[in-house]
Amino acid sequence: MAGIHAAGYVKNGMKVGLGTGSTVKYTILELGRRIRNEGLIISCVPTSISTEKLSIEQGIKLYELSILEGLDLVIDGADEFDENLTLIKGGGGALVREKIIAQASEKMIVVADESKRVEKLGKFALPVEVIKFSWKETQRKISEITNIEISRINRRMNNETNEPMITDNGNFILDLSLEEINNPSQLENELIQLAGVLDCGLFCDIASTVVLANPEGIEIIEKRA
C-alpha cells in the first residue's frame, strides 16, 4: 500500500531516485505500470544493483546521477524512523548509494510500515560501511567512540555463502548493536570522521515525508518546520 501510494508523488518529466528494499519494490512496479499504461515519462537513478535490475525489467529509463544534475525526489525505505524523520537505513546493504542519491534530491519520500516508527533510534543495528583494509582496526576505533564492546560490532555475513557480505561498492558492513541513539547527528559525524569508514546508516535532516502503512490505511507524516 505504501509503496504504491508513494508512486503517486511522481509526475511526468520528473527525475527520480529509486531506493532499495522490499517496500520500494512495489513503487518500482507501480511506476513501470504507469509507464506502460499511462505514458509516464521519467528519468531515474537506482540506488543498488538489485534496484537497477528490477527497473530495467519494468522498462524504466535509468541514468547516471551526474548526467541528471540533481533529482526532484527519491523514494526509499527505512529500517527505523523517529518523530524528527531521522532514519536508520542500510539493512539491504546499499546505504552509501542511498545517501548520495538522497542528498542529491530536493525531496525524500520514505515508505514504511508501523513497525519502523520508534521513539528513539537504535533497536535496529546501525550499519556502517567500512573499507576492507585493516577493518578490524576500524572496528576497534568504532568501539572506542561509541563505548560499546567489539563483540557488539559485527561484520555482516552473507547467509547463503557464509562469507562476509560485500557491498555494491566492494566493502564490508559492520552492524552496531547500540540499543538506543541519543544524538544521531553527533554519532554520524563521529563515525564518518574515521578514515576506514565510508559512511553510516544514519540519515539526519534528509527525509521530508513518510508514507506509512498501518491497519487503518495510509498515514502521511511530514517533517516539522
Long-range contacts of 148-151 (CB under 8 A, 24+ apart): 148/176, 148/177, 148/178
Q: Supply 37's cell numbers.
A: 499504461
Compute the chain's Rg from CA coordinates: 17
> Is the pLDDT at 225 greater than 80, yes or no?
no
Q: What is the DSSP letter of 221?
A: E
Numbered ranges of CATH 3.30.70.260 in the chain: 126-200
**CB count, 10 Å around CB of 25?**
18
Q: Which residues of 159-193 are buried (b: 16+ CB within 10 A; e: fewer)?
A: eeeeeebebeeebbbbbbebeebeebeebbebbee
The pLDDT tens digits of the residues spanning 144-187 come to 999 999 999 999 999 888 899 999 999 999 999 998 999 999 99
∠ CA 125-223-65 to the nearest 5 degrees? 70
The pLDDT tens digits of the residues spanning 36-87 come to 999 999 999 999 999 999 999 999 999 999 999 999 999 999 999 999 999 9
Numbered ranges of CATH 3.40.50.1360 in the chain: 2-117+204-214
Q: Model's pTM, two decimal places?
A: 0.92
Q: Within the chain, where are the H helices?
A: 2-6, 24-38, 49-57, 65-68, 95-103, 135-146, 184-192
Instruction: Give CA–CA dist 195/190, Å, rounded.
Output: 11
- State the catalytic residues: 98
The top-level CATH class assigned to 126-200 is: alpha beta
CATH of 2-117+204-214, one of 3.10.20.30, 3.30.56.10, 3.50.50.60, 3.40.50.1360: 3.40.50.1360
Query: Under a CB-based contact definition with an 8 Å cutoff, are residues 200 and 184 in contact?
Result: no
Q: Supply 93's cell numbers.
A: 546493504
